[in-house]
Structure 1
Amino acid sequence: MQSKFRVLERSNTLRANSLQSHRSSQSALPLDLSSDLGTSQRHARGFRASAANQFSSSKSNPRDRSERGFLETSTIVANNVSHTLPISDLVVSDLVFNDLVFLPLADNSMSEANNLGTLGSSVRSNGFVGGTDSQDYFRFSNTTAGRFNLSLTGMSADADVQLLNSSGAIVASSSRGSTGDESINLASLSIGDYYVRVYQFNGDTNYTLRMSNTFPSNLLPAETSLGTLNGTRVFSNSVGSSDTADVYQFNLAGTANRFNITLSGLSSDADVRLIWDGNSNGRIDTDEVLGRSTAGSQASEWIGTPLNAGNYFVQVYQFSGEANYNLSVSTGDWYNEHLSDAGVIGQARALYWTDGSLSRNDMISMFREVQDQSSIDSTELQDLRKVVNPSTGFSMPDYVRNLSNKVVNGDPANPRSGIGNLSAGSSSNQMERLIGKWFLGSDRPTAISYNRTITHGYRYLQGSLFQNGISFEDVDQNDIGDCYFMAALGAAAFRSPSTIQNMFIDNGDGTFTVRFYRDGVADYLTVDRFVPTDSSGNAVFAGWGGGVNTEANNELWVALAEKAYAQLNESGWIGQDNTNSYNGLTLSTTAVSTNSGGINGGWAGNGLRHITGRNTENRDVSWRDWWSLFITTSNDLDRIISTFNAGRMVTLSTKDSGVESGVVANHVYTMVGYNASTQRFRLYNPWGNTVELTRNQIVNNFEDWDYTTT
């Protein structure tokens, strides 16, 4: 390999840490090396001075050279003295001969870019940009589509960086200003050849360029420097596909017995790590992560640990989506700084410190802690509300926060139930009743018969939540007019069994937390295993398949979903009568023929939205076209078929009257099939049977249909 070098006068201010890309001011060349550099000799690289004490060289460690895999040397002739030197020293070392610095020629354009090879977990190069050499170009290949991380560090003046594609178009850039570190972090970089342009903004500066493709990023640019941390600092920022990681650098002057990081207010899933760069290599090695929090979803993250004096980094990184966040770092005792009541402080510290999250049982314990004086004072209530508030930073499962919020901040169901919302001075008995209502399922729905003449008792239901999978045929409606809800359950079970499975959380104590959706946002409540039965232990409302309540083969999910919906009615947002009941609250001495109380009578579209969280639409099955020359009848059957074939959940509602034998009037069915050969619709009746109907039968007997749009 024929190597040519530029020779520059050495000044006291020049530090050419990476002579492959460092440059200084152009001066007259004291030597003409254009024809005297000689020929390169191909053997193991490692610059050696062939004349003792003629060169001053600060070598990089042997591992750095071997990692680069350099194999070539160059013979340089200066002042009639021949010197054989390995090129690796020009890349990673200061090389000085008689106060001359030898530098490789141009890398000031894409065509002359330094080739860094293939992007991997660690690519590094040092360089220099200044007044007479304002930019450096580097080339690399990305052979696997995925993450891209870049850091530009070690500047003493302002330099910026760009990532370019093979055509020279800017893919991403970083220009923070001053001497701050620069960074680029992308969630996805396509396969191909790319260029990095490092360029001067003002001043002369050395720099270190690092790149990697790891997730999360293993690079440590000090994007935000906090200096010496004492007390609490709070930052609001975001991470996403075009900026996957933010790094905050700080140092501690002394030991922090309780160092805390909280990541809250998340709009999407982001995580956080605490890092100590023990070997100061600007890269996160496996033993340098001191703590991490990966709660998942939009749950808040928290890290708490003692820290000795030293230099540390906090890295916030995207897991999915575009995540806004609030970051708090503190050297004090967070609990004493943010909470006031000793009991709440003690419980929060003990429970949260164990695993960095507050579980359902943790919150129940904390609520019971404040009952010690038979009432809840204003300080205790204020602290409990802080613990539940997402912005405070306590991590807990979504359903736990949702239920806890209903205890400490209130819900319309609380006053309707006679318990009331919690306030300063509330009794310990009121707190216990709220715990029972929301966490233990002890506030059961009133269970009177449809005709309002009988009050049913509750019995413990044996069996399992699911038996032999989840099927629409598990749905079995009985003495309550909630076909709209039961048909929606059947549609969800038919199209998306996982929706039904994920609807329930088994708390392991005979209770289940049940999820519904309000305007697409999850809402929760808890039911226990007690269900209404007749005097023999048979189901009076939704059936459970097995037999009497003591049978081991009973399947609970439909009965518990219906019970939970009856309880949810009291919160006032499902469009019913806002009572905690199946068939209303009022008994009658004589049987009634119609009942609109409780969860009787509703719309299938509401049921689908509440169960699945998906958007729905309602359409007529057929209609009269009064605007044509002749009055004609049109129908929606082809649209029903195509919607069903597209995998949507579909229900059909019959006319109020005038239906044929075998079809129930004013009733909702679940569509579970269509035979294109026979043109028959297969519909499931929530009463427990399936019917097959022709196109004409659908038009003649059904009024409208509901479906999910996704």
Structure 2
Amino acid sequence: MALDKAGNTLSKSQKITLKTETQSISDWVGSSDIDDFYSISLSSRSSVSIAIDGLSANADLQLLKDNNSNHSIDKGDVIASSNKSGTLSESIRETLNAGNYFIRVYSKSGNTKYDLNFFQTSSTSSQEVYKESSVSSNTVNSTLAATSADWFSQNLSDQKIVSLARNLASDGKLSRQDMLDIFRNVQDNSAVDSNEIQDLKALVAAGNKFNMEDHVKWLSAQVANGASVGMSASSFESNLVGRWFLGTVAPTPEFNGKKLTYTEVNGSLFGSSNKAQISDIHQGTINDCTFLAALGATFSPQSDDSGNASSSLINSMIKDNGDNTYTVRFYSGRYYQPGEAQYVTVDRRIATSIAAQRNNGVLWVALVEKAYAQWREWTDSRPGYNIIGNGGALAPPLSFITGRKTTNYTPSKINFSMLETALKAGKAITTSRSGNDTSYILGTHAYSVRNAYIDSNGKQRVVVRNPWGVDGGKTKSGANDGFINLSYDDFIKSFNLGVSIS
């Protein structure tokens, strides 16, 4: 990658001056340089347009204001975000008062060059110019003039929705709660009509214009596309709004012929740590070790349960909606070609007889497991717990969670340097064994690869973690915390199915 020019913190941001013509800066972000910051200063109220394109990996875009001037990003500092999946271009357009602001370009996965394109127009101008997010930097100057006529009256038909949506979007955004309010408006009569359906689709199509978060836009699209003319208001609520936004539709309460009962549970998403920790992962009674091992593989390297390393991927994967519902992200496609980000909303009802354990009332593992069963049921049209709870290959869950391509390696294709380098680069690695148990490793079971290092005696060591949360073998490895420290030779001998790296 080229020399990094942009500042990596707010206090060291690269100053840029906005003009009415488009300007571009080329730089890069990646595993060794996650954040690039740029600062801008506006002398009067102006419309600001920023975009990044030319991506070869996933990078996202934010517009910030350091409200308390402490040179860190606090709650309320993010004005707007654009975080599409994969290598799609990102764009933000906001009207801002005079003041100082920051642009943040940051890596979500992999290393990528990017072109940052930016310009401003006066908010008092009779025309404002914007850049379509789908165009490349080569066509960034092909701008479109937007008249000052009201978008809502031009693009929506139902007058109640026109008035409500205009009011809700007065802050430049349509939030999850805003869309719920609009859905309630659609239910104002006994049945949904064609104008209301077309209005919902128009709002979803204009999601970027209203800074709609990705999960809100995707879930709203499922509601809009699932609605039909004449659908009753109650069916619209239960089958669409409840299903996609409120978590009222749960996985089929069945596992291998056994009837399941859902129980609403108490606790908090992440507990007192306010973040996901690998020590929270303790498998329940179903055989979903490949999925739970994949969750554990996303944490930064550690060699025992005392480190409590974090997983930024898991933290970003789960959205607490503040109403006892949680939205969870998965990626469609296959392990060799991941697809789009898709979302599932779940409530606090857990199939308590089979679910992952809730240590100290921490809910995230059980909630994500339930969301995974729900998502797989929708995509595969079979009872979800039967799909996820009877074993499976290593690679697919990794890509479903990370959104990255996953590669399988047989033992003969693995070397210590490969594992060490992959972990340092933030890759997720899982492994498994077929056949009988060894002294430390269980047969027909998946593990997360947690570290690869050279000890003080110059010996190569590999640390794995059992998603049971306890060692589980015939012999314990240090504390009975699920972490098992092996020589590299023992690792290769033990895990005869090789590794999957994402």
Asked whether the two chains share a fold, i.e. TM above 0.5, the reply is yes
Identity, in percent, stands at 32
Partner of 1:446: 252
Judging changes above 3 Å, is the alpha-carbon distance between structure 1 residues 335 and 620 closer, same or farther for their aligned structure 2 residues? same
Structure 2 equivalent of residue 695 of structure 1: 488
Q: 1:464 to 1:370 in 2, by over 3 A?
A: closer
Q: CA deviation at 1:273?
A: 4.0
SS in 2 for 1:505: strand
Once the two structures are superposed, the pairs formed by residues 549-568 of structure 1 within 5 Å of their partners are 554-568=361-375
Matches within 5 A, 1:278-317: 286=98, 312=126, 314=128, 316=130
Q: Is the 8 A contact 1:471 1:497 kept in 2?
A: yes
CA contact (8 A) 2:289 2:467 kept: yes
Match of 2:287 in 1: 481
2:344 aligns with 525
Amino acid at match of 1:669: Y
Q: Is the 8 A contact 2:414 2:498 kept in 1?
A: no
Q: CA deviation at 1:499?
A: 1.2
3-state secondary structure, aligned to 1:399: helix
Deviation of the 1:145 alpha carbon: 7.2
From the superposition, tell whether residues 333 and 217 of structure 1 become closer, same or farther in structure 2 (CA, over 3 Å).
closer
Q: Quick check: 1:438–1:525 contact (8 Å CA) kept in 2? A: yes
The CA deviation string for residues 70-96 of structure 1, in whole angstroms up to 9 with x for no partner, is xxxxxxxxxxxxxxxxxxxxxxxxxxx
**Cα contact 1:637–1:695 (8 A) shared by 2:** yes
Residue of structure 2 aligned with 1:380, choices 193, 196, 203: 196
Separation in 2, partners of 1:147, 1:693: 51
Q: Does the 8 A contact of 1:457 with 1:533 survive in 2?
A: yes
TM-score by length of 1: 0.49
> What pairs with 1:349-428 in structure 2 (closer than 5 Å)?
349-353=166-170, 355-390=171-206, 393-409=209-225, 421-428=226-233
CA distance in 2, matches of 1:240, 1:462: 40
Aligned to 2:409: 619
Where 1:493 maps in the other structure, the secondary structure is coil
- Find out whether 1:271 has 2:93 as its counterpart: yes
Classify the secondary structure of the residue corresponding to 1:478.
coil
Q: How far does the alpha carbon of each residue in 1:118-154 deviate from its partner, in whole angstroms, 9 at most, with x for none?
A: xxxxxxxxxxxxxxxxxxxxxxxxxx97536678xxx
Contact 1:680–1:694 (CA<8 Å) still a contact in 2? yes
Q: Look up the equivalent residue of 1:601 and give its one-letter code.
A: G
Corresponding residue of 1:644? 423
TM-score, normalised to structure 2's length? 0.68
- What do residues 9-30 of structure 1 show as CA deviations (whole Å, max 9, x unaligned)? xxxxxxxxxxxxxxxxxxxxxx
Residue 337 (str. 1) matches residue 154 (str. 2): yes
Corresponding residue for 1:463?
268
**Is the 2:53–2:90 contact (alpha carbons within 8 Å) kept by the matching residues of 1?**
no
1:196-225 deviation digits (Å, cap 9, x = unpaired): xxxxxxxxxxxxxxxxx98368799xxxxx
Partner of 2:278: 472
Equivalent residue runs for 1:588-603 within 5 Å: 597-603=387-393
Query: In 2 relative to 1, CA 645–238 (structure 1 residues): closer, same or farther, beyond 3 Å?
Result: closer
Displacement of 1:562: 0.5
Contact 1:351 1:358 in 2 (8 A): yes
Aligned position for 2:330: 516
Q: Give the 3 Å change call, closer, same or farther, for CA 580–442 of structure 1 in structure 2.
A: farther
Secondary structure at 1:349's aligned position in 2? Answer: helix
The equivalences for 1:323-334 within 5 A come to 327=144, 329-334=146-151
Q: Which residue of 394, 399, 409 corresponds with 1:604?
A: 394
Letter in 1 for 2:323: D
Higher normalized helix content (fraction of residues): 2
Tell me how large the CA RMSD over aligned residues is.
4.1
If asked which structure has higher relative contact order (CA below 8 Å, sep 6+), I would say 2
Amino acid corresponding to residue 533 of structure 1 in structure 2: T
Amino acid at match of 1:525: V
Instruction: Find 1:670's aligned residue among 442, 445, 448.
Output: 448
Q: 1:505 to 1:341 in 2, by over 3 A?
A: same
Structure 1 residue identity aligned to 2:382: T
Please state how far the C-alpha of 1:560 moved relative to its aligned partner. Answer: 0.9
- Which residue number corresponds to residue 579 of structure 1? 382
Cα distance, 1:452 vs. partner? Answer: 3.3
The 3-state SS of whatever aligns with 2:258 is coil
Offset, 1:684: 0.5
**1:273–1:314: 8 Å Cα contact kept in structure 2?**
no
Partner of 1:383, secondary structure, is helix
The equivalences for 1:6-155 within 5 A come to 147=16
Q: Please state whether the residue corresponding to 1:663 is helix, strand or coil.
A: coil
The structure-2 alpha-carbon separation of the partners of 1:705 and 1:371, relative to structure 1 and needing over 3 Å to count, comes to same
Q: Does 1:543 align with 2:337?
A: no
- What's the CA shift for 1:241? 9.1
Distance (whole Å) between structure 2 residues aligned to residue 150 and residue 598 of structure 1: 54
Q: Note closer, same or farther for the CA distance 1:608–1:336 as it changes in structure 2 (3 Å cut).
A: same
Find the aligned partners of 2:52 and 2:327 in 1 and give their Cα distance.
32
Structure 2: segments with no counterpart, 5+ residues: 1-12, 28-37, 55-81, 107-121, 302-309, 333-337, 470-481
**Contact persistence 2:411–2:498 (CA under 8 A):** yes
2:462 corresponds to which residue? Answer: 681
| Paired residues of 1:461 and 1:530 also in contact (CA < 8 A) | no
Question: AA paired with 1:351?
Answer: L
Deviation at 1:653, TM superposition (A): 1.4
Q: d(CA) in 2 for partners of 1:218 and 1:659? A: 70
| Partner in structure 1 of residue 321 of structure 2 | 507
Q: Which residue of 2 aligns with 1:141?
A: none
Letter in 2 for 1:314: E
Partners of 2:454 and 2:39 in 1: how far apart? 51
- 1:334 deviates by 2.6
- The structure with the greater share of residues assigned to strand is 1
Structure 2 residue matching 1:669: 3-state secondary structure: strand
Decide whether aligned partners of structure 1 residues 295 and 694 sit closer, same or farther in structure 2, where only a CA change above 3 A counts: closer
Q: Deviations over 1:255-281 (max 9, x none)?
A: xxxxxxxx9x99322324489xxxxxx
What does the per-residue CA deviation read over 1:507-554, in whole Å, with 9 as the maximum and x for residues that have no partner?
1111111122232532212111121224xxxxx3211112xxxxxxx1
Q: Tell whether 2:1 aligns with 1:187.
A: no
Q: 1:509 to 1:455 in 2, by over 3 A?
A: same
Supply the distance in 2 between the matched residues of 1:701 and 1:392 (Cα, whole angstroms). 50
**Corresponding residue to 1:215 among 32, 35, 40:** 40
Q: Distance in 2 between matches of 1:499 and 1:188?
A: 26
Instruction: Give the deviation of 1:556 after TM superposition.
Output: 0.9
Distance 1:447 1:214 in 2: 52
> How much does 1:479 deviate?
1.2
